[in-house]
Amino acid sequence: MNSRRQLPGQAPPGRYTAKTGDGKDAELGHAIFPIVTQQDDGTFIAIGTGFFVAKNGVFVTAAHVVTSILDEHGDVTGPFGLFQFLPGGQCCVRRIHRGTRHLVADVAVGVAMPMHHKTTGAPMPNKILTLAAAPPAIGSAVSTYAYPKTTVERGKPQVIRFEPGFFDGSLLEHLPFGRDKVILPGPCYRTSIVIHGGASGGPVIGPSGRVFAINSTGFEANDLSYVSCISEVLDLAIPDVILPGNLTPRITTLRELAELGFARSR
């Protein structure tokens, strides 16, 4: 990860934070990640941002980010994955296994292949963010953390430069019936956050440090954007989830995972 320059709408370092599942300040680079695809020549291309909401690899992003990834059955149709950043400056690529898109709202859930310890083989949990039980008040200061403007230098090895950061603004309007009937018909909010290309799917965080929305659409270098309500993702069916103590994959929801203690909503 290499943050090289200040982008329009980017917040000063240290102004914002987010909360992990245990209520502590999050190591955002460990819970929020770029989603990538790989071309036939092996070159990676970043297509959006996502964030973990359960320790077993369940993540949330925008539906339009994974439109080209998932077929109608939720199966992944190509070489798609995510770059997960780990303590000590390390990173790994985790293949995206399955997922579900909302039929109306611009929200989706996905499942990344599990990670295992190289020596012991034990499953390695990932960091997660906490979802807000209720949105902040209109007029509140809000922010997103995302991976816009990722660049790739072809070669062997490839050099991939990520520019993660907070981008902030205000919560301006609640649109419970969507912005329009075609582009964004699901429940959403209007904000003054600048959403750059590649930031779609990133978490939108209120004053509590918890996620209440997901980046959906914006206008390049313009402080007009729309973010989708996180509540729309809670009851999406998540396929092939392996819960601790049970090796048989099953269908579940984020609401159920929160009730079982594997995800957090407060």
Our count of domains for the chain comes to 2
Asked if the structure places residue 13 within a domain, the reply is no
Mean pLDDT in residue range 187-211:
93
Is 17 a domain residue?
no
Question: What CATH number does residue 44 fall under?
Answer: 2.40.10.10
* pTM of the model as a whole: 0.88
Name which residue leads in pLDDT, 57 or 116: 57
In a domain, 165, yes or no: yes
pLDDT band at 1 (very low <50, low <70, confident <90, very high): very low
Distance of alpha carbon 112 from its chain centroid, rounded? 12
pLDDT of residue 2: 44
150 pLDDT above the threshold of 90? no
Q: Alpha-carbon distance 166 to 144, whole Å?
A: 5
Handedness of CA 87, 205, 82, 45 (dihedral sign): negative
Amino acid 244: pLDDT: 64
Burial letters for 198-226: b for 16+ Cβ neighbours within 10 Å, e otherwise? bbbbbbbbbebbbbbbbbbbbeeeebebb
- Other CB atoms within 10 Å distance of the CB of residue 92: 12
Place of tokens 């699901």: 186
∠ CA 95-130-66, rounded to 5°: 35
Residue 236: what pLDDT?
93
35-81 residue pLDDT tens: 988 888 778 888 999 999 988 889 999 999 998 888 877 788 888 89
Co-location of 119 and 236 in the same domain: yes
Residues 236 and 196 in one domain: no
In a domain, 91, yes or no: yes
Token pair 């995206």 in the structure block, residue: 96
More confident residue, 260 or 102: 102
* Same domain for 194 and 238: no
Distance CA 162, CA 149 (A): 7
Same domain, yes or no: 240 and 163: no
CA 19 to chain CA centroid, nearest Å: 14
214 and 247 share one domain: no
Domain that holds residue 115: 28-129+232-260
Question: Which range, of 13-27, 34-48, 116-130, averages the lowest pLDDT?
Answer: 13-27
